[in-house]
Structure formats: structure tokens, C-alpha cells
Structure 1
Amino acid sequence: MSEEGHAGGGIGDDAQRLTVWVHGHVQGVGFRWWTRSRALELGLVGHATNARDGRVCVIAEGPRPQLDALLGKLRGGNTPGRVDTVVESFDPARGGLSGFVER
């Protein structure tokens, strides 16, 4: 089964959880859609959510190399809007995620 076909975040024993807070002009510019597309290309599960203070929170689970690739894309300068700061943390995967959605 491909990684995209896994439900519940069960994407392997090496899975980790990446939590990213993206600061800047990232709401109302297609940033969550863009993030979702990149995450799905990498086979990750999770979500991108607008915060009330204007930030976007990205939660993604999967193998560390793919999470690092997503983080690089978020910092890469080719995102919609304007990214000023990216603050990330890595934790053990919790599971319970399916697909990658915008919230």
C-alpha cells in the first residue's frame, strides 16, 4: 500500500510529528492550500490551520526526511504570501491523522 493510502497516520515506525508555526502574511493568500499540496506530494498526513493571530499552524506526520523537505519548502521563499518566521518542533508521531487537510 502506498503512503497516501494509510489511514490514521500509520505510516511506519520511523514516523515523527512536525509542528510548525508560520508567521507573516500567510492568511488569505492560498498558503494552506499550497502547504497541503506540498505535504501530499511528500506523502505526509496532517493539517494546516489558520490561527486567530494571523499565523498558520502546520501539523504533519511522516518519516523525518519528508518532514525536513516540507520544512525546507515552508522556509524556501516560494510560498504564497510572505513568510517572516518559521518556528518548528519535532515530536514522536501520535497517529490519528488521515490525509492532509486545510482547517
Structure 2
Amino acid sequence: MKKHIFISGRVQGVGFRHFTKKNAEALGVKGWVKNLPDKRVEAIFQGSEEKVDDLIQRCKKGPVASFVQDIKVRDAKDETVYKSFEVKL
């Protein structure tokens, strides 16, 4: 399963990307996360349905200093097979 995620709220400058990477690696989810110029965070999560759903739930809470206002989740259209989870700059 692969999902394309957009997270909005206070999600930049609060360690959200590091939080996402740490949790993705703990769950064995592959993909990437990055900040967007419009202050949202974008990510691709690839893994089993259960683990991807778990990571999405963790991102709904986010790190302590964050405030997640909204998460949009859709099926990812790219065909890339990710081998790790990375923070894109």
C-alpha cells in the first residue's frame, strides 16, 4: 500500500519531519517527508496497510510542539518502490 499525505497546521519548525521519519522507521514504513512552501508537510508512506494506517494516526497527533489541523490522505500515483524513509529538503 502507498499513500500520499498532506498535513496542515503548525507542522513546520516543530520537528515534524524528524518525528515522522523516526516513527516510519520504527514501523518499517518506507517513503519520504518534506516541508512545502505553503507551510504544509507532504509525505509518501509505503508499507502494509496496518503500518501505514498506524503512521497516519501517529501523524494526526504529531510531536509535542505541533498542532495538526488537517490531514489529507489519498492513494499515491507514483510507481517508485522505496527502500528506506528519508527527509527531503
Structure 2 length normalisation: TM-score?
0.87
Q: 1:58: how far off?
A: 1.2
Tell me how large the CA RMSD over aligned residues is.
1.6
The question of whether the paired residues in 1 share the 8 Å contact of 2:19 and 2:62 is answered with no
Q: Does 1:55 align with 2:34?
A: no
Q: 1:42 is aligned with what amino acid?
A: L
Structure 1 length normalisation: TM-score?
0.76
1:55-94 equivalent positions in 2, closer than 5 A: 55-75=40-60, 77-79=61-63, 80-91=65-76, 94=79
Name the larger-Rg structure. Answer: 1
Say how many residue pairs are matched: 87
Q: 1:22: how far off?
A: 0.3
Match of 1:26 in 2: 11
Tell me the SS of whatever aligns to 1:89: strand
Residues 92, 65 of structure 1: alpha-carbon distance in 2 compared, 3 angstrom cutoff:
farther
The question of whether the paired residues in 2 share the 8 Å contact of 1:20 and 1:58 is answered with yes
Q: Gaps (5+ residues) in structure 2?
A: none
Give % identity.
26
In structure 1, C-alpha distance between the alignment counterparts of 2:13 and 2:83, rounded to whole Å: 24
Q: After the TM superposition, which segments of 4 or more aligned residues of structure 1 sit over 3 Å from their partners?
A: none
Match of 2:24 in 1: 39
Match of 2:80 in 1: 95
